[in-house]
Amino acid sequence: MKKVHVNASCEYDVLIGKNILEDSGKLIGEIFKKGKTAIISDDKVYSIYGETVKNSLCENGFSVETFVFPNGEKSKNISTYTKILEFLAEIGLTRSDFIVALGGGVTGDMVGFAAASYLRGIKFVQIPTTFLAAIDSSVGGKTGVNLDAGKNLVGAFHQPSLVICDTDTFKTLDEKTFADGTAEAIKYGMIKEPELLEKLSGDFDIEEVVEICVKIKRDIVKVDEFEGGVRKLLNFGHTIGHAVEKCSGYSITHGHGVAIGMSIITKATEEFGICDSGMSKSLDGLLEKCGLPSKCPYTADELYKVALSDKKRSGGFITVVLPKVWGECILNTITVEKLLEYIKKGI
């Protein structure tokens, strides 16, 4: 089992390995006193892994309650979040207790936000069951829910107390869902680790890739936990990607939207003469090889209208992440009107 230590406002470990879900209760018991906990998961994930985690916790002396909500991005809203809070209150969870987020990014984001706000903050454990959640959303403390106007417009920074990543859970993912995680891994390669892109172009060791990505995020979060500067690099492809998701009514998944966003912004950056010539074509080739899209089904105007609601916007300006060379991106604050130019250049 690999261990990555994260040194943020709350220090914690990310545990990465095969077949460690059955030991989740023991691992959690090493940092929490025996008491009450709540497992929160979606119906699809809980049906596969819920009883394993619950039994492991019970065997290690914890009292366990469960809350299950419908699977999918459409559940990531204020209504579900409110139901989670009401549930936590009904079961009498206290500040000495904790929550377990079992599932992908939707679950982790919502549960983290509930943990940040219930009783003005209680502890929680992330158990990501998707490739994407394991390398990205479960680490770093970003939590939130969507509004009708856009993604993650309500949330808080709240670090987990532990992350348990059993890579065997990825075996139950369909190709499309696994590819969502590969898109985020490509993002890490583009902003920090060009050698990672070479690994992703062929058969790769999943535990090694998870560890590499988590370490990159760990190092960035250590320097800029609350996204005042360098952490914004982790948004490469996301402003446009989120707009793609929203335009599709979330039928296009997060990773696929980010893939399209990375393709558009890279092509635009190349058109403006900022990045290496040929980078766009090479990136699109890698995306295709990994089962990810690069073509956008929406017009520049459609994407731009949605992107104006992006949480990274500040007045009439927005910070975009632009590739410069392989493994290095730069932050550029531009007017929102300029963003429309970038989108038009990239489509």
Backbone region of residue 110 per phi and psi (left: phi > 0; alpha: psi in -120 to 50; beta: other values):
alpha
pLDDT at 276: 85
Closest CA to 36 of 69, 80, 66: 66
The CATH number, out of the four listed (3.40.50.12280, 3.50.50.60, 1.10.1740.10, 1.20.1090.10), of the domain defined by the range 175-346: 1.20.1090.10
pLDDT tens column, 220-257: 999 999 999 999 999 999 999 999 999 999 999 999 99
pLDDT at 179: 98
Work out the mean pLDDT of the chain and round it to a whole number. 96
Computed on alpha carbons and rounded to an integer, the radius of gyration of the chain in Å comes to 19
What Cα–Cα distance (Å) separates residue 32 from each residue in 28, 51, 119, 157? 6, 20, 18, 21
Residue where the block lists tokens 């009107």: 337
Question: What are the helix (H) ranges across the chain?
Answer: 24-29, 43-45, 51-59, 78-90, 105-117, 131-132, 175-191, 194-200, 206-223, 238-247, 254-271, 279-289, 300-307, 336-346
Which sequence spans correspond to the domains of the chain?
2-172, 175-346
Check for a shared fold between 2-172 and 175-346.
no
**What CATH topology corresponds to 2-172?**
Rossmann fold (3.40.50)
Which residues, 6+ apart, have CB-to-CB distance to 27 below 8 Å?
A: 15, 20, 162, 164
pLDDT at 148: 92
Q: How far is C-alpha 5 from the chain's CA centre? A: 18
pLDDT at 38: 98
Helix, strand, or coil here: 129? Answer: coil
Closest CA to 2 of 213, 187, 306, 157: 213
pTM: 0.95
pLDDT tens column, 11-33: 999 999 999 999 999 999 999 99
Residues facing residue 39 across a β-bridge: 66, 100
Residues facing residue 162 across a β-bridge: 13, 125
